[in-house]
Amino acid sequence: MATDVRQAVPFSPEKWRRDFPILDQQIHRQRPLVFLDNAASTQRPNQVIDSMSAAYRQTYANVHRGNHWLSEQSTFQFEAARAAVARFVGTDNPREIVFTSGTTAGINLVARAWGEVQLRPGDEILLTELEHHSNIVPWQQMAARTGATVRFVPVDQQGLIHPEVVAAQLNERTRVFAFAAVSNVLGTVNPVSDFCRLARARNVLTVVDAAQHAPHEPLNVRQWDADLVAFSGHKLLGPTGIGVLYGRFELLDSWPPFLGGGSMIDRVTWDGFTPGEIPARFEAGTPPIVEAIGLHAAIDYLDVVGLEAIQQHERQLVEHAIFRLEQEVDGFRLLGPRHDRAGIASFVIDRVHPQDLAIKLDLQGIATRAGHHCAMPLHEKLGLSASSRVSFYLYNTLGEVDYFVDAVGAAVAKLR
């Protein structure tokens, strides 16, 4: 049985939450705002907001092509952000970092730039049953274009995928294995290095959706030995509209561009064009300049807090939440593994619809998530149409967890 975690290693979320102005407010008849929807998107500290405001106020111009001071300043900040991201993911080559609009755009870039050239009828695209729609639909679209087949590695009753199951699914027809590092529904933490090792032994391309990993624990693409890794800025304290695709240099350098237009070319003539070098080849048009500056500030902030400390704090919060819910809420059922999970808890409660519960909690100032969480096939596998989800981050407190559990108990009593 789980134990209460109130005697855990000290972490001071109160110290950090002072940097988040949005959290310092009351809503719905003076209820304190309790934000527990961090898997969907996190909030931004003053440091990120201020960095973006300063860029707009002092140094903004388009990058790379301007022969004036503002453009030089903006270009310097933009490329400094790329270097910061490279360090954040564990590569010493900033050219392996492509800025996108988010995880979804990064996976679509891979599917189109690589898949349309490499996939043939009879080839297999291997995914897992844990995937977010953004790591399913682009591959289904690519399969329809190329005649390839999409297959799914099954998840067991505990919400886990074991390396030996992956090994059994990989075969001579498998061309790409795309999988989430962390499930956005079950909180399952996959053994990424093991999965990549198995795929590499069969010369299978690996694409890792790190949207739920990058904000919460250290990420090192070299240690993972991954070919490609995608994640979003807005889930790690950064702005919306920017994401990252890491790719091995030799891979990206061999691919044709996905989008055409300005910035991604070396030369254009009446008869055709020559694509530019990477990463510019995959960054057509005006890039997310100020968003990249904000992402840089977010990474700097996370460096100060420490991802290891964040990971430990979140796991303490989720363990405490699950412990109390299991003990106090009749009919509560956790989805996914009981232990060694990320700071995400999805659940169902007998005779209570997730949407009704979310509305009741919102009236108490508590932001949670109800629905299929962009994972309809997984919910179908679980025999559910929807679930409730809470997800924690560095600024959440044990007091907020207790307030949430008490509110769940009161809501369930009323709804029944």
Q: 3-state class of 179 per DSSP?
A: strand
* 389 beta partners: 346, 369
Whole-angstrom distance, CA of residue 65 vs CA of residue 229: 29
Of residues 8, 259, 374, 384, which has the active-site annotation?
374
Query: CA dihedral defined by 41, 45, 49, 52, rounded to 10 degrees?
Result: -80
Comparing CA positions, the residue from 173, 170, 115 lying closest to residue 145 is 115
> Which phi and psi (to 5°) does residue 336 adopt?
95, -175
* Whether 196 is catalytic: no
Peptide bond into 279 cis (omega under 30): yes
Integer CA distances (angstroms), 375 to 23, 370, 397, in order: 28, 12, 28
Planar angle of CA 28, 235, 71, nearest 5 degrees: 115
301 CA to centre of own chain: 18
Whole-angstrom distance, CA of residue 346 vs CA of residue 374: 13
Q: Which positions are catalytic?
A: 374
